[in-house]
Chain A
Amino acid sequence: MEALLLSMKTEWMVTAILLTVLLLRLGKGVAPSTLLSLVQLLLLVATALSVTGSGSGPLFGGMYQAGPLAGFQKSILLFAAWMVTLLFADWHRGSEQLPEYLILMLSSLLGMCFMVSAGNLLMLYLSLELATIPMAAAANLDLGRKRSSEGAMKLILSSAFSSGVLLFGISLVYGTTGSLDFAGITAAIDGGGLQTLAFVFLFAAFAFKMSAVPFHLWTADVYQGSPMPVTAYLSVTSKGATAFVVVNLLHGMFASMSDAWYRLLMVVVLATLVIGNLFALRQQDIKRFLAFSSIAQVGFILMGMTGNRPLGVSAITYFVLVYVFSNLAAFGVAALVSARTGAEDIPSYRGLAKSNPFLAWMMALALFSLAGIPPTAGFFAKMFLIVEGSWQGDYWFVVAAAINIAVSLYYYMRIVRLMFSDAERPMEAIVPAPSERLGLLVCAAGIVLAGVLSWMYDHISTLN
């Protein structure tokens, strides 16, 4: 009983917050700002409690696997959810469906937590659906905008498609190994033809969630159509949680097939980096731009998996954490600009530094970190993934991948340059709400300090 409480404490806490919001919604109802403050506070407490560590070991006959690293990965997800409620406070307060939105977001968060700890393919499938379907509903929350419905429709249709593929993969695994349990499957995997097929199907379904090429096509439309907080949330948590799952599957269940999946990963990494960068190069819409830039980032995450070493898992966890800081800061600024001026195209960022130096600097820091430029944490995170990618000794592959950093510099720096250039009609001064300012500052502190000072990585490393 104690293990049940302790090992699953993150899930319990998310459930508790979820129920609180639900009860408040069903009861008399509270003012949106009160509700939001309450959820912000509860998420902060939950993150803090979750980061203090968790028990380990199997629960429910192996359905659920708790472990220190998984516990930390979940706290990253919780932290991201907390940051989203902070950074997009204005949108939340203005939304007419705030309780519904929060319930959707928290259910999806719960799904992701279970996903990270899944020890059984059925459990994995269920939690994946729990993580995805609420987000499709949330993507539709800008009820007045057609694009929002379009994005939601695309997300749900493509998700259904990928779920079908995943289920097919799962049934093949079950058919060839006679087990749905991770441990049982690992013991029975022999790399036969049907299992290879099963692996590709599983991989494709998760690559879809991470938006790796060629399963990425939904990303730009959904990111562009959804309300900004939904996009931001989706871009970091969904990607992060899936990355944690995929690395566990590759390094655990399919470790014996590593020769084969290593080469598969090489193909996917190169395709993802090149296509992501190529499409990002000329994007004019900030949300589409961030969508393609996030695709390119996934290329690096997948590259960190090629080494098939535990170190790679540390590197990926750290990368996701840094990515939460950087991407949420970028989306936070974009959301503020979009909410106050309606501008969502990159050229209107020209001259932002003149009227809004704080926002311009935050955006610049976020972009530096995404581009992997020192002294930001993004530099270190990317370097670790590259070192990990070099572990197998295929340096040509790493060079081909790393050249993309040089290309990406072009489009990241373009925005920085625009923001700091003179403009004929600079944007009006935007005053962020206190919580938005706090959120941006936390992200900035993470970007600047989490790399140069090594303790955040060291913590992850000791858990692994």
Chain B
Amino acid sequence: MTQRAFFKPLISCAAILTAMWFSAHRVAADSLVADLSENIVAITSNFTGKNLVLFGAIDRNTALSTNRLDEQASRDVIVIISGPNNQTPITVRHKERVGGVWVNTKSVVFDGVPDYYFVAASRNFADIASSEVFRRNEIRPENLKMNPVDAELDEEALNAYRTAIIRNKKREQLFYEKQGGVEFLDDTLFRANVTIPANISVGIYSTKVFLISDGRIISVQSKSLDINKTGFERSIFEFAYDSPLFYGLLAVVFALIAGWAASLAFRQE
């Protein structure tokens, strides 16, 4: 713990210094530098979710010299975190009233639905770029390429399912869409608060930072974020999946002992 607490500001400082170094040296290939305050999120017994800070810097001069943009040209940053990478299909079920009771009548299996999706932009999305740009880069939940595994429905019905996925995910606090969630501290430095909810799945997540100027993406930076259980929680989780039968038997034996111990403790003389 102390080690992490020590390294956190150190890593942050290093990243910002790197960012400044880049801006000072006008490296044409790198016009954007960004990093998360932590690249590994450890899920421990007191994990209740986490707030990460994504910070970075853009190089205005580089952008000027390479793209010939004037000083007044808009610069926007969009941040996306999604994952985990080992995505599995999900079933979306639709309820209808049958004889007064709500019943799941239809279901569609969808592929390409991230378990978690966070997007933040420095301004209103509509002001930053065209919807075509967003669609191509899977920016904003409605542009995620969520497709049915075996499609038998028309596009209109499928879209009802897609909006339902987004609505459910937002309610479960697994999808976030924050206009203005990226704030500029000055002309070059920016930061965004990223919410990692307690119900997040473990795995490797990908972070993408887009630098957009006058509606065109001029730079993209990708990073990975590792969300993992540690210590006791990890051991239990791995035990349950690696040797499930033994895990089940042990859980029962433990329950038997606990029940027996309690009845002994409360035994009447």
Partners in one complex: no
